[in-house]
Chain A
Amino acid sequence: MSNLSDYFWQISEVMIAVAAAPLLTGWINKCRSWLQNKSAPSVFQPHRMLHKLFHKDSVVAENASPLFRMDPYIVFGCMTLACGIIPTLSTNLPLSPAADAIALVGLFALARVFISLAAVDIGTGFGTMGGRREMFIGFLAEPALLMVLFSSSLISKSTLLTSIVGNLVTQDLAVYPSLAFASVAFLMVLLAENARVPIDNPATHLELTMIHEALLLEYSGRSLALMEWAASIKLLAYFCMGFALFFPWGISSVNTPLALLLSLLILTVKLAIAGALLAVIEIASAKFRIFRVPEFLATAFLIAVIGMLVHFLLGA
């Protein structure tokens, strides 16, 4: 059923996503700066950062284990694979049966475990603290995310993301109250999992509050570049997952150049709007204390559960 050209398109989609992911981060930063009345950096600033970092020497702590040096590649690989599973431009993905939504959550968990292990590896206070917090937020966010995915898969009777998208796109435009709840919960999980503002601040290096930055503290040069790049890809993957679950319209179901181009245009518009919205959320909220995070994510879980109950009660 899937032939060679499908594989070609799938691989090029993944490569486009990977290459363009830092643009999304750049766009969000730009929006944030605009909202804060600062002069905004170019959207290519993250690319320039990566370029600079790749050219620098990699400084590795004396007591680093081989795991520490392998880690950036593993994490980067995980995120790249995630881009291959999540429908970005088309739903005709030959790689998509390899993992459904649950396996995708498992894939993110795998990346998280490796990041945390690397953070613990050097044995500095900040690194272990970061690793601990990352795993802590991870295990609180995962149930909420799964509940969101369950709501969607109950409607589409499938846990495959491509089937969920296909099902939503082909149906008449209907309002699913359960999906409305699920989308709110998903947004909260997205903020937590991608180290965005109410949970973590990507723009700060304040030691006692950081999570994502603490994990990368001992990395430098190309390893740091890979880790930062992987974080951008993860954000893009989460955005695309959100679109796939809640706003799939405009995604192409065939692999023809014209349809894909149109789909790319629509995705760019969606990402631009969503990125701007994320910047607004980040500007409008303040960072939580770490022990407020369980409440935040428990709320996300409850909203997702309510969404599911609504699905059972209304059948929609």
Chain B
Amino acid sequence: MTDLISMDYIVLIIAGWLAIGVCGVLALWRPAFATYVLYPAGAALGMLLSAIGLFSVFGVAQTGILPLGLPDLQFHIRLDSLSSYFLFVLGIVSTGVSLYSVGYFRKKEETPLGLMCLLYHVCIASMAMILIADDAYVFMVAWETMSLTATFLVTANHSDPEVRYAGFLYFLISHIGALALLLGFGLLQADTGNYTFANMREQHLDLLWGSITFFLAFFGFGAKAGILPLHIWLPEAHPAAPSPISALMSAFVLKTGVYGFIRITFDLLHAQIWWWGVVVLTVGLTTALFGVVLSATQTDMKRLLAYSSIENIGLMFTGIGLTIIFHAYDMNGMAALSLTATLYHVVSHAAFKSLLFLGTGAVLHATGERNLGKLGGLMRFMPWTAWAVLIGMLAAAGLPPLGGFVSEWLLLQSFLLTPGLPNSVLNMLIPIVAGVIVLVGAMAAYVMVKFFGVIFLGQPREQKLNHAHDVNIWERLGFGWLVVVCLMLGFFPVQMTLVIDRITTYLVEEGIGTAVAKNGPLLLAPVAADRASYMPLMFVTILLVCCLSAYVLVRRMYHGRIRRSIPWACGYPFQTSKMQDTAEGLGQPIRHIFGNFFHITRELPSAFDKKPRYRITVEDPFWSLLYRPIAVITEYISRAVGVLQHGRISIYLIYSFATLMLLLLVVTQ
């Protein structure tokens, strides 16, 4: 019953978001209206979208044609379980971010609030459009709309040259990616001239063209998602953007890349070759390791989170790579398991990363500082933010009983099943890959302790932090929504895997739903109950019972006396806040072992310096290894071509004349 109408609802929600955006521009001179009416309305639509998305996962695929587009080139749309699932994620993210934005966008950004409202709502509407697109035309239109609006959102504070630069970099890389996508779609339609996805599903590409298409898609969607070496825009764009926008970008704009890649690989391309999977797995794993190592050395809180997003995207691509390998060997049950892990990670990353970015927004508004070296001790002044971020941080660290752990657990389970593969080399190598994944997960915990510890714990490193104010009610609502989502994802993995089961059944012909459903609503056992099981609700209940009984017993049996005093610190009385570990200090062990990952320049004081200074800069090595050479070569070529330019019209006329003569000669030959 819901199947028949959910598509219309989704189109209506998209239209609603667009209408809200237009209202924002019309009410350009009434920012309060945009803030207090339009954003909550957008949040309500987002909540509706998440509910509809969740329900329509279980429905049958529906198609439709929108009365838009060009005469012979209509907008085909389609809603299947995969797009419903991502719409559900988009709904969750946009609800949290919109609610938070009500409280956040009160002070003026440089872009007027009404315009921000338009850009924001057009951006989320275009992302929803990407998810329901059923032909390359509407897909690319929505894709470009998303890139454009996201660029303008990033450059909201455009008087700062760094912000403009970040926006330009994002725009550039997403367009290089879009170019690859256009070529990829061109190959997928295999000379039929029909760009609908339905037609692309019919075509069977041979190995060569199939591989080329696959790698074009990998490149194009990878540029959006931020895989190595195309990740370079992420650490620039995230700190530049206002925090709700960073949250939206990290939580969902990156995921559109994951969505597109899954769509093309498993839905539109038929055959999967095992070594495609190996390539994706390797690149994904490298991205994950690189991302987490670099995030551990960052000193800017949003840049740290940006690298952490790169890490998580890497993990998702690792999961996809593993799925391709399993699927290529017709081991669909295991493919379903690793794809489930990937999709689980999509939603849990969306929830915790938007929560963390919104948390940095609150810190930024309260203190005006992004630099970790100038924060500290904010838990006392901003308890709401601190507790919300604590939940997000535990999820990001991949700790039980939260959502981040479930996806890591599922991924590791699928790695443990690899010994069934017919390829003995892969059999031996892949469990080692699992070791790297554990390393990444454990380092993510390190990064998160650094992130939370430096910002919220310890002593305030600056005087002004003592006046930091906590978030207002709307921001709390946004936090609350995302915290609840994080907890639910951690506590109810069985229900969530049953949802994802529909997608894996559609994409890899099998799901883990039947195995999971056998063991009741609490026990998550993806293969069999005696093989591996995890019961988060029971886990957390026993944990709480243990903690509380310890508390009650200690309180009952002993006195509850407590005395406040200055910190002991081994008896050293002259402690100042500058003596705590800084963000650099917390990055030091990582720099020490993973020195090869960075481009480090260090300036050490000599023994005779009157005013000793210690300065260290850690740079992404891809700048010096890849991007600067490309820039230099481009510059060189343009200078070489520049010889032709003189700025005098007579010379240009001679050029045209010469070209004309040359062409005439060629034609007459």
Query: A interface vs B, CB < 8 Å?
Result: 54-55, 57-63, 65, 67, 73-74, 76-78, 80-81, 84, 95, 97-100, 102-103, 106-107, 109-110, 112-113, 116-117, 120-129, 131-133, 135-136, 138-140, 142-143, 146-147, 150, 153-154, 157-160, 163, 207, 217-218, 220-222, 226, 291, 294, 301, 305, 308-309, 312
Complex: A76 Cα to B553 Cα, angstroms = 12
Say whether A99 contacts B534, CB under 8 Å: yes
Of A113, A136, A154, the residue contacting B399 (CB under 8 A) is A113
With A57-B561, A122-B458, A159-B413: A62-B550 Cβ-Cβ less than 8 Å: no
Of B449, B546, B568, B585, the residue contacting A117 (CB under 8 A) is B449
B257 at the interface (CB under 8 A from A): no
Say whether B445 contacts A139, CB under 8 Å: yes
20 more contacts with CB within 8 A, not counting A59-B562, A121-B457, A158-B532, are A65-B380, A65-B456, A95-B542, A98-B533, A98-B542, A99-B400, A102-B412, A106-B399, A128-B581, A128-B585, A135-B445, A136-B446, A143-B442, A147-B435, A158-B531, A160-B530, A218-B567, A222-B558, A291-B593, A312-B428
Complex: A67 Cα to B393 Cα, angstroms = 14
Residues of A within 8 A of B575 (CB): 123-125
Of B405, B439, B453, B570, the residue contacting A120 (CB under 8 A) is B453
Query: Could you tell me the distance in whole angstroms from the C-beta of A206 to the nearest C-beta in chain B?
Result: 11
With A106-B398, A138-B446: A124-B569 Cβ-Cβ less than 8 Å: yes
Complex: A125 Cα to B592 Cα, angstroms = 20
Residues of A within 8 A of B442 (CB): 109, 138-140, 142-143
Of A57, A117, A125, the residue contacting B562 (CB under 8 A) is A57
Residues of A within 8 A of B5 (CB): none
9 closest pairs, A vs B, by CB? A123-B458, A77-B547, A128-B581, A139-B442, A77-B546, A123-B459, A120-B453, A124-B569, A142-B442
Residues of B within 8 A of A99 (CB): 400, 534-535, 539
Query: Could you tell me the distance in whole angstroms from the C-beta of A96 to the nearest C-beta in chain B?
Result: 9
A-B contact pairs, 12 of them (CB 8 A): A60-B562, A60-B565, A62-B564, A65-B379, A67-B390, A78-B546, A80-B550, A121-B457, A127-B569, A131-B581, A143-B438, A143-B442
B661 at the interface (CB under 8 A from A): no
Say whether A73 contacts B550, CB under 8 Å: yes
Say whether B434 contacts A146, CB under 8 Å: yes
Of B428, B456, B542, the residue contacting A81 (CB under 8 A) is B542
B427 at the interface (CB under 8 A from A): yes
Query: Could you tell me the distance in whole angstroms from the C-beta of A173 to the nearest C-beta in chain B?
Result: 23
Which residues of B (528-584) have their CB < 8 Å from a CB of A?
A: 529-535, 538-539, 542-544, 546-548, 550-551, 554, 557-559, 561-570, 575, 577, 579-581
Query: Could you tell me the distance in whole angstroms from the C-beta of B526 to the nearest C-beta in chain A?
Result: 11
Complex: A67 Cα to B458 Cα, angstroms = 12
Of A57, A60, A117, A163, the residue contacting B531 (CB under 8 A) is A163
Complex: A159 Cα to B432 Cα, angstroms = 17
Residues of B within 8 A of A106 (CB): 398-400, 405, 409
Query: Could you tell me the distance in whole angstroms from the C-beta of B382 to the nearest C-beta in chain A?
Result: 11
Complex: A291 Cα to B594 Cα, angstroms = 12
